[in-house]
């Protein structure tokens, strides 16, 4: 990989919605919905020009939704097993088709998505979609399966709790019942349309997506989904071959050959076939939901199959247990994992004002062997918006964190649509609560809508502050995808300065990045109120490594062009730094 990857994570149904009504639990007619067609050539070129290489379209596979599509042969869903009115993108109802809400003509929804793939590729962006291997919607129904493809659960022996080739786990001789609602919650806020007055009949009941084995899951369970069986027995025993211990060091071809000789559970083959179907359609890669809930052996099988079809396929996954990172990268053949636990969480504490910047170099050192695989982000659909009062209430506080997140390692950077204009997610959409942009209901995204400007995608209604923030993101991200040094070496100089530099402290962070042709000195002030001035020092052995002799060298900030100089005295480097609150510099050495 010779340059940085930057991913634009976009919630597809919200991106082009210009309706500002935002009624809680509002219908598609009341609150509007974005379409595939809203990603016009202009919209996509603006996304690319932000400094983006890949776009992750969230919510593409057809998931359960409260909308009447019976004229297209799609059955209605029971509102008691759908979260929100627009439905969770992680309760997939049909893996071989796309969400009909996103199409101008639902009968041509797959054709419209193919056109979007083509438009995206013509813009020079790669396409990522979700695959959710741990669970599917309670009422899974493939309507357009390719020849020879049967639905999940088809042919299962439902008289037993578990059988290796069953796709689901069952609770024999019982009927599923929806949760008991508490705390004033009622599905759709109590406004159930006539067409949706359907009751799910599930006999026998199945295990719920998060592992609940009760025929009546709790309202905090993932009650809208059912757990997929990967050959893991109810007592935890495994009905598949384990990878030999040394397989973490072997390439995907050896993994592929290993599984070729073995019989694997039905669910493994079904999900592999789903992935190969989308690759064939032109999708460039996948983001896997809750990957650690599925055995690593499955991932070895799945990802090696994907890489045999497309060696350049992009694979990223959610794994939140740091003890499993290396296993899922090496044995599971994942390209990238979310760097949430430790790195994102550490940044969040620093942004909130009580964390110390000392934490970040320690985390980074601990990940040295896998740093390239740890995807960085400050926002995504699961996390609070930076500008929400529940996080820090001010998008500007994200600036230094964004600089550090995007430049400290060789790993990909991800931003969430609306982050670049300071979207605060203040709406009460219905299911869920403010601070996260709703993934369950039809809603408008106000700061983002001002940038969309009635689908001109030119920021015509943005406030000056929003425009300035987007300009910052554009400068930063475009620098990262063109910088050779950011794919090169890293060294922190934070602790060296903390020990000997007057006025340097734990609200500041500094490190260097370099390659043969580019040397960078990066320094950020996380404090929203205090200005810091100090003589930043670069150790003697680093200056030797950079082959710099005594004297003065010009520096230029890659973000806003500020000039400075690096002075070398007695072998040690010195840079006079004056940092305003929330200011960062990416100083490039000018030879």
Check for a shared fold between 6-60+97-138+241-482 and 488-589.
no
The percent of residues in the chain predicted with pLDDT above 70, rounded, is 100
What is the pLDDT of the chain when averaged over all its residues? 98
Residue 514: strand pairing partners? 489, 519
Token digits of residue 240: 């598949």
| pLDDT tier, 2 (very low <50, low <70, confident <90, very high otherwise) | confident
Structural domain boundaries in the chain: 6-60+97-138+241-482, 488-589
Q: Three-state DSSP class for 588? A: strand
Which CATH topology does 488-589 take?
Immunoglobulin-like (2.60.40)
- Percent of the chain at pLDDT exceeding 90: 99
pLDDT digits 0-9 by tens, 5-32: 999 999 999 999 999 999 999 999 999 9
Mean pLDDT of 146-164: 98
Each residue's pLDDT tens digit, 513-542: 999 999 999 999 999 999 999 999 999 999
Over 80: is that where the pLDDT of 399 sits? yes
Alpha-carbon gap, residue 45 to 49, rounded angstroms: 6
Burial of 526 (0-12, 13-18, 19+ CB in 10 A): buried
pLDDT tens sequence across 203-261: 999 999 999 999 999 999 999 999 999 999 999 999 999 999 999 999 999 999 999 99
Q: What is the pLDDT of residues 58-86, one digit of tens each?
A: 999 999 999 999 999 999 999 999 999 99
Does residue 420 surpass a pLDDT of 60? yes
Secondary structure element (H or E) that encloses residue 305, with its range: helix 296-309
Confidence label for 129 from pLDDT (cuts 50, 70 and 90): very high
HEC secondary structure over 356-378: CCCHHHHHHHHCHHHHHHEEEEC
User: Given this model, what pLDDT does residue 591 score?
Assistant: 83
Q: Which residues lie across from 208 on neighbouring strands? A: 226
What does the pLDDT read at residue 258?
A: 98
CB 231 within 8 A of CB 166: no
Is this model's pTM higher than 0.75 or not?
yes
Contact 467, 459 (CB under 8 A): yes
Residues 6+ apart with CB under 8 A from 316: 7, 128, 285, 286, 287, 288, 334, 335, 336, 337, 338, 375, 412
Comparing CA positions, the residue from 127, 57, 59 lying closest to residue 283 is 127
* Cα angle 362-363-364, degrees, rounded to a multiple of 5: 90
What class, spelled out in words, does domain 6-60+97-138+241-482 have in CATH? alpha beta
Q: What b/e string do you get for 148-182 counting C-beta neighbours within 10 Å, with b at 16 or more? A: eeebbbeebebeebbbbbbbbbbbeeeebebbeee
Q: In this model, does residue 1 exceed pLDDT 60?
A: no
Closest CA to 334 of 265, 283, 286, 380: 286
């Amino acid at each position: 990989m010779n340059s940085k990857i930057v991913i634009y994570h976009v919630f597809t149904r919200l991106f082009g919605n210009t309706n500002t009504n935002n009624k809680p639990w509002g219908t598609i007619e009341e609150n509007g919905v974005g379409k595939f067609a809203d990603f016009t050539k202009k919209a996509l070129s603006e996304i690319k020009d932000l400094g983006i290489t890949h776009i992750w379209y969230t919510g593409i596979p057809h998931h359960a939704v409260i909308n009447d599509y019976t004229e297209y042969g799609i059955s209605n869903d029971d509102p008691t097993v759908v979260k929100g009115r627009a439905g969770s993108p992680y309760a997939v109802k049909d893996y071989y088709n796309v969400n009909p809400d996103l199409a101008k003509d639902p009968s041509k929804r797959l054709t419209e998505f193919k056109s979007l793939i083509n438009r995206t590729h013509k813009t020079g962006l790669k396409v990522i979609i979700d695959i959710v291997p741990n669970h599917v919607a309670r009422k899974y129904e493939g309507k357009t399966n390719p020849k020879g493809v049967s639905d999940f659960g088809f042919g299962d022996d439902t008289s037993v709790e578990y059988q290796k080739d069953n796709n689901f786990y069952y609770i024999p001789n019982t009927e599923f019942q929806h949760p008991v609602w508490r705390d004033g919650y009622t599905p759709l806020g109590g406004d159930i349309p006539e067409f949706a007055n359907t009751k799910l009949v599930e006999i026998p009941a199945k295990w719920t997506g998060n592992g609940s084995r009760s025929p009546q899951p709790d309202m905090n369970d993932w009650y809208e989904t059912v757990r997929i069986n990967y050959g893991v027995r109810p007592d935890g025993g495994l009905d598949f071959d384990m990878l030999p211990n040394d397989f973490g060091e072997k390439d995907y071809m050896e993994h592929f050959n290993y599984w070729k000789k073995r019989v694997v559970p039905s669910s493994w083959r079904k999900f592999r076939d789903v992935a190969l179907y989308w690759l064939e359609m032109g999708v460039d890669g996948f983001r896997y939901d809750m990957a650690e809930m599925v055995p690593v052996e499955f991932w070895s099988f799945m990802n090696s199959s994907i890489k045999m079809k497309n060696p350049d396929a992009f694979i990223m996954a959610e794994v939140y247990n740091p003890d499993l990172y290396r296993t899922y990268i090496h044995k599971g053949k994942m390209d990238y994992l979310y760097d949430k636990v430790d790195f994102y969480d550490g940044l969040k504490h620093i942004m909130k004002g009580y964390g110390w910047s000392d934490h970040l170099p320690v985390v980074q050192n601990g990940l040295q062997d896998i740093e390239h695989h740890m995807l960085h982000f400050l926002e995504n659909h699961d996390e609070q918006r930076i500008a929400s009062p529940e996080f820090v209430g001010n998008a500007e506080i994200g600036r230094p964190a964004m600089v550090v997140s995007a430049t400290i390692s060789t790993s990909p950077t991800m931003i969430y649509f609306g982050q670049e204009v300071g979207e605060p997610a203040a709406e009460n959409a219905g299911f869920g609560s403010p601070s996260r942009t709703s993934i369950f209901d039809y809603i408008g995204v106000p700061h983002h809508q001002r940038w969309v400007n009635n689908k001109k995608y030119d920021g015509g209604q943005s406030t000056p502050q929003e425009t300035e923030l987007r300009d910052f993101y554009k400068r930063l991200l475009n620098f990262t995808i063109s910088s050779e040094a950011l794919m090169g070496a890293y060294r922190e100089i934070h602790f060296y300065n903390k020990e000997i530099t007057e006025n340097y402290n734990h609200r500041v962070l500094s490190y260097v990045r370099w390659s043969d042709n580019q040397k960078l000195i990066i320094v950020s002030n996380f404090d929203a109120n205090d200005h810091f001035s100090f003589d930043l020092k670069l150790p003697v052995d680093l200056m030797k490594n950079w082959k710099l002799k005594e004297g003065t060298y010009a520096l230029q900030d890659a973000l806003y062009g500020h000039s400075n100089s690096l002075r070398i005295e007695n072998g040690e480097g010195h840079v006079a730094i004056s940092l305003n609150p929330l200011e960062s510099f990416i100083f490039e050495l000018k030879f």
